[in-house]
Amino acid sequence: MRIQSKRLRDHFEALAQYGKLGETGVCRPTLSVAEKMAFEVVSAWMMEAGMTVRLDHAGNLIGRKSGKCEGPILMMGSHLDSQPYGGRFDGTAGVLAAIEAVATMTEHGITPDVPIEVIAFCDEEGWRFNKGLFGSRAIFGQLEEGELSRTDQDGITREQALRDFGCDPEQIASCVYPAGAVGCYLELHIEQGPVLEAMGRSVGIVSGIAGPIWWTVTLRGFAGHAGSVPMNLRQDALVGAAEIILDVNRIVRQEPGTEAVGTVGNLTVFPNSRNIIPEEVQFTIDLRDIDQARRDRYEGQLRDAIHSVAQRYGLQYDIREDTNSEPRYCADWIKRLIREESKALVDDCPELMSGPFHDALAASYVCDYGMIFVRSKDGISHNPAEFSSPEDLAVGAQLLFQTAVRAAEVLATRGANSQVAPFAKST
C-alpha cells in the first residue's frame, strides 16, 4: 500500500500560494487572512481523506478519522504558520504528510484500531506574539497566565486575533483533551539542519528535542551627547550588549562538538540615534541543548557574564524568562516501529536529535511521542531557500503512514499511556 506522491506534491504546490513570498518563500502569520485561507483548503483535503473537521477555540484545525474503538487517540500533525521570511516546508510537511497517511488508509479500506486526529496547530512559530506552541499547549492544558493579552507589532492582542479568526477565546478551556485521551503523538518534520544530507540519507528518526530557554534581556545606562561625554565616563548600554552577545557565543562554544547552541536574534536600541549614547538596549537570548545538566551550567555562566558586564559599565539589567523547557526524549517503542518500517524503504534510517522545538514538545508532557525527519537541502530553514525534495517527502510520508498503522495497533492493545509531569512553566 503506497501513498500517492503526486497528490502530496500537488498539495505542497497549492498550499505555497497562501502567503507566497517571492518564487519560493512563504510569509503566513498565525491567525492571519493567509492562514485562514490555507486552513480552508487543508480542511477540504482532510474531508477528502475521510475525516470530519473542526476548528477549535484555540485556533487549531482538527481532522478526525474514527477507529475500531473509541480511544486512546493517535494524534499526528504540525503547523501551517510560517516565519516572516520562511519557506514552504517547515510545519507544512507534517500536516500534509499526516493527511496523506490518512487518505491512504481510507483509499485502501483501512479502519485504524484507534481514532486518528490530524492537527494543524495554531502558532507554533511564536514570532507574531513572541510565544510559540500556542495551539498544542492549549489542547494539553499548558497555557500560562496572560497569553491572550500578548500583542503583535500592530498592537493586536492574541485574544482579538483569535476572535477575528472565528474562535471564542473564552472557551479555550473546552479545547483541553482529558487526561489519557491521547495515546501517542507522531510528527513528521523537515530536519532544518545539515546532518541527513551529510550522511546521504533521506529520512531519520528523532531521538529527542533539545530543551530551549528564551530570555529577553534589558540593559539600562545613561544617554549623553556622543561628542562630549568622555569614553571612561559613559554608561553605554549597547557596548554592554555587544560584550554579552560575544559571551553567549564564547560560552556555548567552550565544548566543541556538542549539541549546545546559543543565539541573539533580536536587538532594540533606544533612543537609536547616531549621536546619542545608547541608554537602553533590549535583546533576546535563545539557549538550547539536549543535555540538561550542561544547559543549566551554561545558563549560570550567562547570568554571571551579564552581571559582570553590567557592573563594569555601570548598567542596570533585567532578565525576563520567556520559555524554559527541559529536553524531551522520544519513546523507545515508537522509535523501534519507525526503524522497523523504514527497512523496506531506505538503506538506513539514522537517529538524530532535534535542536528546534516542535509541537511534539508540548505533546511529550502528556503522552509518548515520536518524530520522523526529512532531509533538508543544505540544512536551510526559516528562509525562502528552504527545500526538501518531493522524493524525500514521499519517503517520509510513506514511513509515517506505515508507522501510524502499527502505532494504532499498539495503542489498541495497551490503552492510554500513564501521565507524566505537567508542562514546564516559564517564570
State whether 348 and 311 are in the same domain: no
How far is it, in rounded angstroms, from Cα 113 to Cα 410?
9
> Residue 207 carries which DSSP code?
E
State whether 220 and 185 are in the same domain: no
The pLDDT of 182-202, averaged and rounded, is: 97
In a domain, 166, yes or no: yes
How far is it, in rounded angstroms, from Cα 393 to Cα 373?
10
pLDDT confidence of residue 238: 98
How far is it, in rounded angstroms, from Cα 244 to Cα 307?
10
In a domain, 427, yes or no: no
In a domain, 180, yes or no: yes
pLDDT confidence of residue 211: 87
pLDDT confidence of residue 421: 34
State whether 375 and 281 are in the same domain: no
pLDDT per position as a tens digit, 23-56 = 999 999 999 999 999 999 999 999 999 999 999 9
Q: Which of 324, 356, 385 is the last residue of a domain?
A: 324
State whether 176 and 270 are in the same domain: no
Give 228's contacts (C-beta < 8 A, 6+ positions apart): none
pLDDT confidence of residue 166: 97
**Does 426 score more than 80 pLDDT?**
no
CATH number at residue 299: 3.30.70.360
Q: Which of 296, 324, 352 is the last residue of a domain?
A: 324
The percent of residues in the chain predicted with pLDDT above 90, rounded, is 92
The percent of residues in the chain predicted with pLDDT above 70, rounded, is 97
> Residue 423 carries which DSSP code?
P
pLDDT per position as a tens digit, 132-180 = 999 999 999 999 999 999 999 999 999 999 999 999 999 999 999 999 9
How far is it, in rounded angstroms, from Cα 221 to Cα 216?
17
State whether 269 and 370 are in the same domain: no
How far is it, in rounded angstroms, from Cα 178 to Cα 375?
35
**Does 417 score more than 90 pLDDT?**
no
**Does 416 score more than 60 pLDDT?**
no
Q: What is the distance in angstroms between the CA of the first residue and the CA of the last residue of the chain?
A: 49
pLDDT confidence of residue 355: 87
Cβ contact 279:294 at 8 Å = no
- For the chain, the domain total comes to 2
The model's confidence at residue 420, banded by pLDDT at 50, 70 and 90, is very low
In a domain, 375, yes or no: yes
In a domain, 109, yes or no: yes
* Omega prior to 271 cis, within 30 of 0: yes
**Does 419 score more than 60 pLDDT?**
no
Q: Which of 299, 324, 349 is the last residue of a domain?
A: 324
Per the prediction, the chain carries an average pLDDT of 94
**Does 279 score more than 60 pLDDT?**
yes
Domain that holds residue 405: 5-209+327-414
State whether 228 and 355 are in the same domain: no
pLDDT confidence of residue 415: 62
**Does 423 score more than 80 pLDDT?**
no
pLDDT confidence of residue 418: 39
> Residue 123 carries which DSSP code?
-
pLDDT per position as a tens digit, 51-103 = 999 999 999 999 999 999 987 999 999 999 999 999 999 999 999 999 999 99
In a domain, 408, yes or no: yes
